[in-house]
Amino acid sequence: MLFTLAWRNIWRNYRRSVLVLLSVVIGLIAIILYDSLSIGMIQQMLDNQIGAHVSHIQVHKKGFNDNPVIQNYLPDPARVRQLLAQQKGVAHFSERVITFGIVSSATGASGVSMVGIYPQQEVQITKIKNSLVEGRYLGDAPHEIVIGRKLAEKLDVGLGDKVVAMASALSGAIGSDVFRVVGIYETFSSEFDKSHAYVYLPNLQQMLEFESQISEFAVILGNLERQNEVQAALVQELGSGYEVLTYKQLLPLLVMQVDVYKETIFIFYAIIGIAMMFGIINTMLMSVFERIHEFGVLMAVGMKNRRLFVMILLEAFLLGISGTVIGAVIGYLIYLPLADSGINLSAFADGLNSIGSGSVIYPILTPESIVSAIFVIPAIAVLGAIYPALRAARLDPITAIRHV
């Protein structure tokens, strides 16, 4: 009976109830869109970093990540290669030689991270091949180089032009070689495009006076949820002379952003909730003051204060749950096309590319976001109705009946 009374009482003042309902619906839509867009941007930044270079797991010599000099090459790469080939959970791996050097053209020079790769291995690890905007990917021929668009613009070179690469060799001498630009790529990060150049691994080994030395193995897992399991197995097998790092350890700032966002999203919930709460308090107070005589009659015929208190809370709860359902449906219908086509923020492309997110953001709506919104909004509605419900429950029946 209380549910029936509460539902009928809501629509006794149609306009006021609709306004409250609209505030709940708009608030929930705002939460869904803001939450999904923020999660999508952060996850996109993380995926871009993983897909551009980092991979899921990297294997180095102990200390290489803190001091990535060529002298810190992997001991016994054949052993690591065999272990990765046999390790369950490892889908693909790629061998790399990495060094910092200078690439120069006739008109300029720039410091870069030179990455020596086997193209057929690396194509399973990174998205560089798919990011090509000019030319082709590396082959097995020496003296070819693939560079980013920003680096090409800085050096003022194009396809077919020659560049000179120099880096410190293993002996301490300066190793150098001439490369022809065969491909130009463009990722979601302009900073990455300025600073990474790819060459054929044996060619870089020769330039650095390496024999068969390798700087790192980049690993892609079949199931990302098994990363800790695979990491622990590799650490146990390889021993203390190696370091096995997951992308969470290699990209701590981005991973921290995800964790910080999960904590701070409740601040946004609180702002929306407080705004709705004041609206609900105002609406329910007006409703209570308009029905003082009616409440007096109900109390006089036997309705207990507790039931009156619960009835008013139910009114707020029904308003909140109705707005939540409508807002969730509308928010999800708005989210679906945005998740498919993305939100084009090309007007802010330079800023977005500098942080590695790209100019098109694809929102991601997680189950946690939906559950949080569905529970938070009705709870806020009930909290907002507590004070008006207490005012009604404390009414004196005689005074209330005489109220005009």
Residue 192 has what pLDDT?
Answer: 87
Residue 403 has what pLDDT?
Answer: 67
Residue 216 has what pLDDT?
Answer: 94
- Tens of pLDDT along the chain (404 residues) come to 677 877 787 777 778 888 888 888 888 888 888 888 888 888 888 888 888 888 999 999 999 988 988 899 998 899 999 999 999 899 999 999 999 999 999 889 999 999 999 999 999 999 899 999 999 999 888 899 999 999 999 999 999 999 999 999 988 899 999 999 999 999 888 888 899 999 999 999 999 998 888 999 999 998 888 899 999 999 999 988 899 999 989 888 877 777 777 777 777 777 777 877 787 788 788 888 887 888 788 888 888 888 888 888 888 888 888 888 898 899 889 988 988 887 877 666 556 555 556 667 788 888 877 787 778 888 888 888 888 888 888 888 788 787 65
Residue 224 has what pLDDT?
Answer: 85
CB crowding 177-191: b at 16 or more within 10 Å, else e: bebebbbbbbbbbbe
Question: What is the three-state SS of the chain?
Answer: CHHHHHHHHHCCCHHHHHHHHHHHHHHHHHHHHHHHHHHHHHHHHHHHHHHHHHCCEEEEECCCCCCCCCCCCCCCHHHHHHHHHHCCCEEEEEEEEEEEEEEECCCCEEEEEEEEECHHHHCCCCCCHHHEEEECCCCCCCCEEEEEHHHHHHHCCCCCCEEEEEEECCCCCEEEEEEEEEEEECCCCHHHHHHEEEEEHHHHHHHCCCCCCCCEEEEEECCHHHHHHHHHHHHHHHCCCEEEEEHHHHCHHHHHHHHHHHHHHHHHHHHHHHHHHHHHHHHHHHHHHHCHHHHHHHHHCCCCHHHHHHHHHHHHHHHHHHHHHHHHHHHHHHHHHHHHHCEECHHHHHHHHHHCCCCEECCCCCHHHHHHHHHHHHHHHHHHHHHHHHHHHCCCHHHHHHCC
> Can you read off the two tokens belonging to residue 286?
């007006």
Residue 352 has what pLDDT?
Answer: 57
Model confidence, pTM: 0.73
Angle formed at CA 101 by CA 109 and CA 84, multiple of 5 degrees: 140
Q: Do 351 and 376 meet the contact criterion of CB atoms below 8 Å apart? A: no
Residue 316 has what pLDDT?
Answer: 85
Pairwise CA distance, residues 216 & 330, whole Å: 49
Residue 350 has what pLDDT?
Answer: 59
